[in-house]
Amino acid sequence: MSHSVYSENPLLTPRQDHSIAPVSVDLLPQHLAIIMDGNGRWAQEQGAPREEGHKVGSEVVNTIVRTCRRWGIKHLTLYAFSEQNWGRPKSEIKALMKLLDQYLREQRSEILEHRIRLRAIGNLSKLPFWVRTPLQALIKESAQAQGMTLTLALSYGGREEIVKATQKIAQKVQQGQLSPSDITDETIQAHLYAPDQPAPDLIIRTSGEQRLSNFLLWQCAYAEFDFLDIPWPMFNEEALRDVCLRFASRERRFGLTSAQIDAKTQKITSS
């Protein structure tokens, strides 16, 4: 059957092959960050408890981590739990922590086998010890992995991250190790939770909300944004493919002019 027959009748469109990236690797975001939102509302719409949405959401995490790894996305950061989420009902927090623990136990072998480097950003000391212990163990075990970096934002707040960085810098100034006029944006970057990590190229949020909710406030300066109406439990490879195609079609100018950007690679050409 010819290609045109497929395109004329969408019902005949063959299932997309998601084993390979929809665009060449240099047009994919090098760092994709996701605000995985809408679990609770999705579950409630089905007449189920909010926790059910988190459970399905964690299964979507498995699929998306696998797909990003296969496609060659080098850094994937997932907003899993915010500082402000500690204000939720105790039972929901407990369910989320249990899912995190389960995720770490069930995905450990896959993470190690595929040389994924696991990291976490956030105020980890607030996590219960029974989650913090396996989390820190797997972070340590995978620290030398050369494959994709998977960063979980846990007990994370962008403002809190900047406040902590400011406190550390102020301490150095007070101790005479640093002069205020030497503080640059690199100084601030160097005191963040993951100082060596490149800034996100693309931040996406599911659930229809169009806000950052305290996510990567410093790092998002030149990120592209994509807000999707579907809730996180309905996110899938197809949606990720569309997101990547939209990202590849954008021109990022970083304050420069179009002429200074290489149309093919989207990289800055020499001035």
Using CB under 6 A, list all residues that contact ligand IPE: 35-41, 79-82, 85, 96, 207, 209, 211, 213
Stretch that binds Mg ion, among 29-37, 111-119, 143-151, 257-265 (CB under 5 A): 29-37
| Contacted by 228, from ligand IPE, Mg ion, none: CB < 5 to 8 Å by type | none
Q: Known catalytic residue: 196?
A: no
Q: Which of Mg ion, ligand IPE, none interacts with 35 (beta carbon under 5 to 8 A by kind)?
A: ligand IPE
Q: What is the closest distance, in whole angstroms, from the C-beta atom of residue 259 to ligand IPE in the complex?
A: 38
Helix or strand run (H / E) with residue 172 = helix 158-174
> CA geometry: angle at 60 spanning 58 and 65, to 5°?
95
> Exactly one of 85, 101, 214, 226 is catalytic; which is it?
85
- Alpha-carbon Rg for the chain, nearest whole angstrom, is 20
Q: Which is nearer to Mg ion, 49 or 72 (CB)?
A: 49
| Among the listed residues 7, 34, 8, 9, the one whose alpha carbon sits nearest the alpha carbon of residue 244 | 34
Select the residue whose beta carbon is closest to Mg ion and give its number. 37
State which residue, 41 or 108, has the beta carbon closest to ligand IPE. Answer: 41
Compute how many other C-beta atoms are within 10 angstroms of the C-beta atom of residue 238: 12
Report the partner that residue 85 touches, choosing among Mg ion, ligand IPE, none (CB closer than 5 to 8 A by kind).
ligand IPE
Q: Pick the catalytic residue from 9, 17, 37, 201.
A: 37
DSSP 15: P
DSSP designation for 147: S
- 244 contacts which partner out of ligand IPE, Mg ion, none, CB within 5 to 8 A by kind? none
Q: Using an 8 Å Cβ cutoff, are 210 and 187 in contact?
A: no
| In the complex, least distance from residue 224 CB atom to ligand IPE, rounded to whole angstroms | 19
Give the residue among 179, 251, 201 at the shortest CA–CA distance from 77: 201
Dmax over Cα atoms in the chain, in whole Å?
Answer: 74
Give least dist CB 122 to Mg ion, A.
Answer: 17
Nearer to ligand IPE, 71 or 215 (CB): 215
Closest CA to 192 of 117, 254, 123, 146: 123
- Nearest-CA neighbor of 68 among 153, 147, 154? 147
Cα atoms in the Cβ-side hemisphere of radius 13 Å centred on 90: 1
What span, in angstroms and rounded, lies between the C-alpha atoms of 179 and 185? Answer: 14
Choice between 37 and 161, CB closer to Mg ion: 37
In the list ligand IPE, Mg ion, none, the entry touching 241 (Cβ below 5 to 8 angstroms by class) is none
Residue 37 found at the interface with Mg ion (CB under 5 A): yes
Whether 201 contacts 247, CB under 8 Å: yes
Quick one: which segment of 31-39, 54-62, 101-109, 224-232 binds Mg ion (CB under 5 A)?
31-39
- Between 28 and 153, CB nearer to ligand IPE: 153
37 is catalytic: yes
Phi, psi (deg, nearest 5) at residue 150: -105, 115
Minimum gap (Å) between residue 5 Cβ and Mg ion: 43
Residues serving a catalytic function are 37, 85
Interface contacts to Mg ion, rule CB under 5 A: 37
